[in-house]
Chains A and B, each alone.
Chain A
Amino acid sequence: MDFSFTEEQKKRRQEYYKVCAQLEKDKPHGFSGLESTYDTEAGFKYHLHCAREFAGRGWLSLAWPAEYGGTGNMMDRVLFAEARGYHDIPGVDIFGVQMLAPTLLACASEEIKGEFLPMIATGEVQFCELWSEPNAGSDLADLTSTAIRQGDDFIVNGQKIWTTGAHFAHWGFGVFKTAPQGKKHHNMSFILFDMKKPGVTIRPIKYMNDFHIYNEVFFDNLRVPAKIVGQENEGWAVVNVLAGFERSGIDEIMRMQKEMENAVKYCNETKVDGVPLAKDPLVRNRLAQIAGEIEAARCLAYRVADLQNRNEMTLMDASAVKVFTSDVAERFASLMTDILGPYGQVKFSRWAPMEGWWERMYQEHFVLSISMGTNEIQKNIMAWYGLGLPRMR
């Protein structure tokens, strides 16, 4: 059992960190996290700037097979994610690059791969994931939006919700009912289409902190060429493949690691009655507890990455790391806003300690526990498929 990296991997990791450290200098003031990517034009521009830098180095197609331009393997993706997480750098479209590309490689025809993979690798094209609907969240299979064939086209009707970044997306991928009379789980297709066509209406849904991340997307007789991933009407199977590419979450974990370093610095420098916060036993104990949890999450993330690298993925470990990391993020935000006292509620402004990061995280941590399958759904999956416990019917 070996937690170390090879000399070659260490060299590559250094390179990823170096480029990300460089890009950090171009970061707009106050930019942080996925949410900043989509909230403003300036934020999105910075994301594209980083994407171009990564695309130029072939880093958006790292773990792809060589014949599609891939130059590395799963571990490279993990090391690259570490560097991005630590320096809090965007530039990797979570939807196109992290979710869609591996799914296409696993399920799509050569024609579809040929059309979309090069596009994704350039970093110039943004994707959005058309997933949940107002009446189909956790129970996605209960969706009602349709894509009805007309010759070589689909006519799309319906509504999607919580569509992150739809307002900047060029293309969308998602599941739609293509056989409305068919059996549940065998009546939908995983399709791709251009979001800039007439018939698509996007309406922002503001996050609780007034950030624009999500949207509602309405389809009104949208006509698009039929581009299907996998078999027609068997899109549910493709959804499950995509879910299996659950990230190890290492970027989120490394971001927390950097935040811990910032927190230590803050506590060392901030005095209460002449004494640094760092000397308060409660601060020491609680911060150390979180530091240990971040390290534990990192070790489990490596376990997941190691399994994925040898194609031995277990959903238990993937679900576990998702649940654990999101819980730690919530506890960390809770602790830091406690430590900051009344200043924990102050938004990014001249009064805000630590650039108001914790006021944001105190609200944004829900994205981690609720999206990508809620933690409660993850625990169901662990119980049913990991531990073999019976489903209640």
Chain B
Amino acid sequence: MDLKLTEEQEMLKTSVKDFIAAECPKAKVREMEEDKIGHSPELWKKMAALGWMGLLIPEKYEGMGLSFQDGMVVMEEMGRNILPGPFMSTLVATFAIMEAGSEAQKKEFLPKIARGELKLSLADMEPNGRFGAGGVTLKAVPRGDGFVLNGAKMFVEMANVADYLVCPARTRESSNPEEGISIFLVDAKSPGIHCEVVPTIAMDKLCEVRFENVAVPHHNLLGERDKGWTVIRNTLRKAALARCADSIGGMQACIDMTVAYMKERIQYERPIGAFQAIQHIVADAWIAMQTARYLTYEAIWLESGGQPADKEASMAKACVNNAYKFVSKWGIRLHGGIGTSREHDISLYYRRAKAADTAYGGADYHNELVADKIGLVK
């Protein structure tokens, strides 16, 4: 039992924090929100030069070969600062390739991803808004030496700049929705793909992607046909944990900002932080953050070590969903009027907390998974 970060992890944390603070100040965060595309090629290039896209990619595919736990440190700092762009979406989609890709596919995709030459998005959700296998209705029908995809995906993060979409689709109907799903690596420039950015609360470029007779060659089938759900479920679990790490960083930023404000804002001849009512609220917020943090750390430790983590990951996602919303909400309220202004940074986090809440599963969805894991009969 040793819950400290290693020296290497501390160093990684500091270097990521310093880089992001310098290269992506809040002005840039806002610029990317307002920007139609939401991606800065210059920033992307700089990150690629540091090798960040290859953080979790094995060394034999030109990555850094770091563990999920190491990655967690980076993700937390990104969440603390807020880092717009396709970094996280690419990381998440890459999990699927690392798990299910053939040697040929890994050789083709992973080094390019590690070098920052490819951006990807996981297209897990559809317009029906359902989490879980039942939500997958996009049809993939064999044609010639490949497949044809028809249907739509929704809330696909940064699909507007992605080179490839990792796309679960239904290749066989079954009474069990978890059977008959296949995963496709779809070239985002394929004819028949219509991608539109949906305006959302965090302006994080979640896209509607429509598929009209989109042809996908057979060699872009990822993993075994009809048996893709396990890989998608594992990918979504890792994605949820990555998002948890990001959210923890965001919560820390809210707490730091709010405590600083409480010490400097003078009303009634004293800092407002002297008033017990709000002292207790910020203590509650800290407790929410810290319990979410250590639950997430445990789940990521399990994931990083290759141990079963479904229950803990779902517990963490449900917990973090609620905690980030709570902390960011009170962050605004403790700032008073200024907290509601677009100009102030605190609401950036509140809006991101809502986006994080629904990404890869809301609290109720994950609590249902937990209910199953703790043994309640279905």
Q: CB-CB contacts of B286-312 with A at 8 A, as 1s and 0s?
A: 110011101101100110000000001
Q: Decide yes or no: A380 and B279 within 8 Å by CB, A287-B376, A320-B286 being known contacts.
A: yes
Q: Is the CB of B377 within 8 A of A382?
A: no
Q: Is the CB of B287 within 8 A of A320?
A: yes
Q: Is A181 an interface residue (CB 8 A)?
A: no
Q: Is the CB of B290 within 8 A of A317?
A: yes
In the complex, which residues of chain B have a beta carbon less than 8 angstroms from the beta carbon of A288? 318, 367-368, 370-371, 374, 376
Q: Decide yes or no: A2 and B1 within 8 Å by CB, A289-B318, A299-B298, A320-B291 being known contacts.
A: yes
A34 to B230, CA, bound (A): 46
Q: Is the CB of B374 within 8 A of A287?
A: yes
Q: Is the CB of A267 within 8 A of B376?
A: yes
Q: Is the CB of B376 within 8 A of A387?
A: no
In the complex, which residues of chain B have a beta carbon less than 8 angstroms from the beta carbon of A287? 371, 374, 376
Q: Decide yes or no: A292 and B318 within 8 Å by CB, A2-B1, A302-B294 being known contacts.
A: yes
Q: Is the CB of A292 within 8 A of B295?
A: yes
Within 8 A of A (CB), among B308-354: 312, 314-316, 318-319
B interface majority secondary structure: helix
Q: How large is the interface on A (under 10, 10 to 19, 20 to 34, 35 or more residues)?
A: 35 or more
In the complex, which residues of chain B have a beta carbon less than 8 angstroms from the beta carbon of A342? none
Q: Decide yes or no: A324 and B291 within 8 Å by CB, A3-B301, A389-B279 being known contacts.
A: yes
A306 to B3, CA, bound (A): 7
Q: Is the CB of A285 within 8 A of B368?
A: yes
In the complex, which residues of chain A have a beta carbon less than 8 angstroms from the beta carbon of B283? 319, 323, 378-379, 382-383, 386-387
Q: Is the CB of B275 within 8 A of A392?
A: yes
In the complex, which residues of chain B have a beta carbon less than 8 angstroms from the beta carbon of A300? 290-291, 294
A42 to B375, CA, bound (A): 36
In the complex, which residues of chain B have a beta carbon less than 8 angstroms from the beta carbon of A361? none
Q: CB-CB contacts of A286-325 with B at 8 A, as 1s and 0s?
A: 0111011101110110110110010000001101100110
Q: Is B259 an interface residue (CB 8 A)?
A: yes
Q: Is the CB of B3 within 8 A of A279?
A: no
Q: Is the CB of B290 within 8 A of A379?
A: no
In the complex, which residues of chain B have a beta carbon less than 8 angstroms from the beta carbon of A319? 283
In the complex, which residues of chain A have a beta carbon less than 8 angstroms from the beta carbon of B279? 379-380, 383-384, 387, 389
Q: Is B257 an interface residue (CB 8 A)?
A: no
A306 to B298, CA, bound (A): 14
Q: Is the CB of A3 within 8 A of B367?
A: no
Q: Is the CB of A299 within 8 A of B294?
A: yes
A387 to B375, CA, bound (A): 40
Q: Is the CB of A3 within 8 A of B286?
A: no
Q: Decide yes or no: A299 and B376 within 8 Å by CB, A324-B287, A390-B263 being known contacts.
A: no
In the complex, which residues of chain A have a beta carbon less than 8 angstroms from the beta carbon of B314? 292
Q: Is A341 an interface residue (CB 8 A)?
A: no
Q: CB-CB contacts of B62-75 with A at 8 A, as 1s and 0s?
A: 00000001000000
Q: Is A5 an interface residue (CB 8 A)?
A: yes
A295 to B315, CA, bound (A): 8
In the complex, which residues of chain B have a beta carbon less than 8 angstroms from the beta carbon of A376? 280
Give min CB distance, A2 to chain B, whole Å.
5
A378 to B279, CA, bound (A): 11
Q: Which of B1, B2, B271, B315 contacts A296 (CB 8 A)?
A: B315
Closest to A2 in B: B2
Q: Is the CB of A297 within 8 A of B273?
A: no
Task: Supply 17 A–B pairs (Cβ within 8 Å), ascending by A.
Answer: A5-B1, A75-B1, A268-B375, A288-B368, A289-B363, A289-B367, A295-B312, A296-B292, A300-B290, A300-B294, A323-B287, A386-B283, A389-B271, A389-B273, A389-B274, A390-B271, A390-B273
Interface, chain A (partner B; CB < 8 A)? 1-5, 9, 75, 260-261, 264-265, 267-268, 276, 278-279, 281, 283-285, 287-289, 291-293, 295-297, 299-300, 302-303, 305-306, 309, 316-317, 319-320, 323-324, 376, 378-380, 382-384, 386-392
